Structure 1
Amino acid sequence: MTMHETLTIAGFPVRATTADMLAAELLAALQNGQARTLFFANTNFIVKCRPWLARMHDPGVVIANDGIGLELAARLVHGQRFPDNLNGTDFTPYLFGRAPHPLRVFLIGGTPTALVGAEEHVRNRLGQQVVGICDGYAGMQDPALVDRINAAQPDVVLVALGNPLQEQWILANRDRLQAGLVAGVGALFDFWAGNKPRAPKLVRRLRMEWLYRLALEPRRLLRRYTVDIFVFFMLCHRYRQGEGA
């Protein structure tokens, strides 16, 4: 397996790699001044981000697999499995830990209180340098936001707006953003701030974290894990049959 091998899931090129190989690739790109855009694809991503499918094939875009849905699709469509589950909650701190020096990080998204907690976590627990923050509400209305980000000269911009808002914002602004790595990280700031609990390690090891989250937030997540799951597998079937979008 090479770090550039991909499995096509409903038209999206999803990287089949390990956390170690992906971290090495992204850090090498940072060192060499090469821009990368990182997305973590779960079933919700595949369903909600279809309007930007063509952009997902842009050079520099890396899509990592997140969750049991992608794993099942890889087995059903390709007869293969992904080497690792590369969700943003676990991979982002892993990437920071592999960096040879503290990275300059700009945080975008979340509530103002979650953002403050996330900033503290990145500084004090992960040992990175936070060079700017912007909440996902009033702060996003600033027309000079991209200029403010560039002025802070971050190595990494983390965007936590949820699917598909974060992907839409990133793709709309990526050409203007000068940061080496821009990543969509979903609910990560809430986890870092302690606003949402992670599933116990055994539940995560069994790839059942989705069920834990559904039990905590049934009203918000019920459609994602019922109707959208059905749509996801229908899309996978259509692409397997060569019908495309």
Structure 2
Amino acid sequence: MNEKQWLGNIQVNTYTASRQVLDDLQHRLELKQKTNLFFLNDHAFNIAQKDADYLSILNEADLLLNDGLGVKLGAKLWGIRLEENLNGTDLIPRLLQTCAMNGTSVFLLGATEDAVRTASDHLKAQFSESLIVGCRSGYFEDEREIIAAINQSGADILLVGMGMPLQEKFIARHAQELKPTLRVAVGGYIDFASGMKPRAPKLMRRLNLEWLFRMALEPRRMWRRNVVGHLQFFIKVLSLKKQH
């Protein structure tokens, strides 16, 4: 089992490669070992500094994976070497490919009605018609009805894309009653899978510059998160290191 190390006041897993993560997830699915999988980027880190409940949820996650250059550099300050960027947008398609081969089923929860249904159609066409057994928009009022729909679908995996911290809080709040073995907070993956939101070119992704691409597309929303947010993240990480 992969161990966690402290990056400031948050414990992050220290897998050295995505292949290790995928093998671990497959093992957990085979054992039907209930697992909450979340991702830590500097935006999540910053939210957690102001939201004690979210901080606890991240630290109680079964798996918390590093996402982005900021976390990789911040981890170095704490003596943690993170070899590979384990962001969900790249990891999830590889997980789904394995799921399609093994007959593992998935439920999508998040984004708009149009986006989640289009994503469902695209993923069925790309991987397998039987892969996606249900999908619902992330905009709902009755959580009980949503939980019932997820459980009745018989899905092995639940992908929740409602943005931070809503998606992680939803999973944590209903962890005991959700039947899918693996529950993953996937951020904007459903929008990407639908084709309604473009991803950065592969070169930018390899250089850990996807944040720059997204900021160019949504400058007003992403400027504060990426420019100011990166600075806030490093100030807090350094501050916690001095207190350590």
Contact 2:115 2:190 in 1 (8 A): yes
Contact 2:156 2:181 in 1 (8 A): yes
Match of 2:86 in 1: 86
CA–CA distance in 2 between the matches of 1:236 and 1:87?
20
Contact 1:170 1:182 in 2 (8 A): yes
Task: Letter of the 2:30 partner, please give it.
Answer: Q
1:121 Cα offset (Å): 1.9
Match of 1:57 in 2: 59
Task: Letter of the 1:75 partner, please give it.
Answer: K
1:168 Cα offset (Å): 1.4
- What is the RMSD computed on CA atoms of the aligned residues? 1.7
Q: Deviations over 1:131-185 (max 9, x none)?
A: 1111011x35343211221111111000000111111111111121111000010
Please give the residue correspondences for 1:12-23 in structure 2 after superposition, counting only pairs within 5 Å. 12-17=10-15, 18-23=17-22
Q: TM-score, normalised by structure 2?
A: 0.91
CA–CA distance in 1 between the matches of 2:57 and 2:115?
30
CA–CA distance in 1 between the matches of 2:205 and 2:59?
30
Q: Deviations over 1:23-54 (max 9, x none)?
A: 11111111101011111111111112342222
Match of 2:144 in 1: 143
CA–CA distance in 1 between the matches of 2:178 and 2:59?
18
1:8 matched to 2:9 = no
CA–CA distance in 1 between the matches of 2:19 and 2:179?
25
1:114 Cα offset (Å): 0.7
Task: Letter of the 2:91 partner, please give it.
Answer: F
Inter-CA distance 140–157: structure 2 relative to 1 (3 Å threshold): farther
1:103 Cα offset (Å): 1.7
Match of 1:34 in 2: 33
Higher helix share: 2
SS at match of 1:225: helix
CA–CA distance in 2 between the matches of 1:27 and 1:19?
12
Please give the residue correspondences for 1:31-180 in structure 2 after superposition, counting only pairs within 5 Å. 31-49=30-48, 50-51=51-52, 52-58=54-60, 61-78=62-79, 80-99=80-99, 100-127=101-128, 129-137=131-139, 139-180=140-181
Give the total of aligned pairs: 238
Structure 2 residues without counterparts, runs of 5 or longer: none
Contact 1:93 1:126 in 2 (8 A): no
SS at match of 1:195: coil
Contact 1:10 1:46 in 2 (8 A): no
Task: Letter of the 1:84 partner, please give it.
Answer: E
Q: TM-score, normalised by structure 1?
A: 0.91
1:190 matched to 2:191 = yes
CA–CA distance in 1 between the matches of 2:141 and 2:71?
31
